[in-house]
């Protein structure tokens, strides 16, 4: 995994990508796990097939936490399926697939790397103060650090740290962040490769901006 971190950070400053097979790219190996944050709200009621999905890459998930990129990264995808919950349809469905990562550069146009992946989890980041829980950062909180969430394992699942991974001063004590699963949704593979279907029987799916997705890379290349 350490090698994966080095390679992942390496492609941010490289001037060209090696010519490898799509599923053999050394920059972002298959099986890498990314933590990304939605840039805009997705509402099944207002979505259509082909709509572009933009997410901000917080970093690469590892056993010791999140390895953040040096340059801003945007994971792009699109909607492959939309179904609202109606009298005739017992569940709402949203199909998503990812296409590429845009790598920002201060010297020119963003570069792109072909990336496919599947969604493993969808969560929101909550902050607690003692026995109180709030859904917004406290004064002085770092939103980038907060988006990184709690300490996680290689699959992006939170683990119990010896102390809180994110702590900020507040009038009522020390704050701690944790991942909270989005209620009433479940994930399963789509009919096509690299498509994740999000479904809910409790109403139309709404994923707010700042919702966090754990994405496992299934392939990458130049």
Q: What is the pTM of this model?
A: 0.71
Q: How confident is the model at residue 47 (pLDDT cuts 50, 70, 90)?
A: very high
Q: What is the pLDDT of residue 177?
A: 81
Alpha-carbon torsion, ordered 139, 140, 144, 146, to 10 deg? -60
Token duo for residue 154 = 């290689």
Determine if residue 156 is left, alpha or beta; phi over 0 gives left, psi from -120 to 50 gives alpha, anything else beta: left
* pLDDT (tens digit per residue) in 135-194: 554 444 455 555 666 556 555 565 554 444 444 454 555 667 888 889 899 999 999 999
Cα separations in angstroms, 84 against 60, 138, 191? 33, 36, 18
3-state secondary structure of 113: strand
Burial class (CB in 10 A: 0-12, 13-18, 19+), 217: buried
Q: What percent of the chain has pLDDT over 70?
A: 66
Q: Which residue has the higher pLDDT, 63 or 81?
A: 81
Residue 144 is classified by DSSP as H
* pLDDT (tens digit per residue) in 121-132: 999 988 776 555
Residue 36: partners with Cβ closer than 8 Å, 6 or more residues away: 55, 56, 57, 58, 75, 212, 213, 215
- As a whole number, the mean pLDDT across the chain is 78
Q: What is the pLDDT of residue 28?
A: 84
* pLDDT (tens digit per residue) in 96-116: 999 999 998 777 788 889 999
């Amino acid at each position: 995994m350490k090698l994966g971190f080095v390679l992942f950070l390496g492609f941010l400053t490289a001037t060209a990508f090696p010519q490898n097979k799509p599923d053999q790219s050394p920059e972002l190996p298959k099986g890498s796990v990314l933590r990304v944050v939605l840039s805009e709200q997705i509402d099944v009621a207002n979505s259509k097939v082909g709509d572009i999905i933009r997410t901000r890459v917080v970093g690469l998930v590892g056993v010791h936490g999140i390895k953040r990129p040096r340059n801003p990264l945007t994971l792009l995808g699109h909607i492959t399926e939309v179904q609202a919950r109606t009298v005739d349809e017992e569940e709402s469905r949203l199909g998503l697939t990812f296409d590429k990562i845009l790598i920002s550069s201060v010297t020119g146009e963003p570069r792109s790397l072909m990336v496919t992946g599947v969604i493993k989890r969808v969560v929101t980041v909550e902050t607690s103060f003692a026995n109180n829980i709030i859904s917004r950062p406290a004064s002085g909180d770092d939103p980038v650090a907060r988006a990184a969430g709690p300490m996680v394992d290689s699959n992006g699942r939170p683990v119990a740290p010896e102390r809180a991974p994110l702590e900020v001063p507040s009038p009522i004590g020390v704050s701690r962040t944790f991942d909270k699963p989005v209620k009433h949704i479940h994930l399963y593979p789509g009919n096509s490769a690299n498509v994740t279907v999000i479904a809910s029987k409790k109403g139309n799916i709404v994923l707010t901006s700042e919702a966090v997705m754990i994405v496992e890379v299934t392939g990458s290349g130049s």
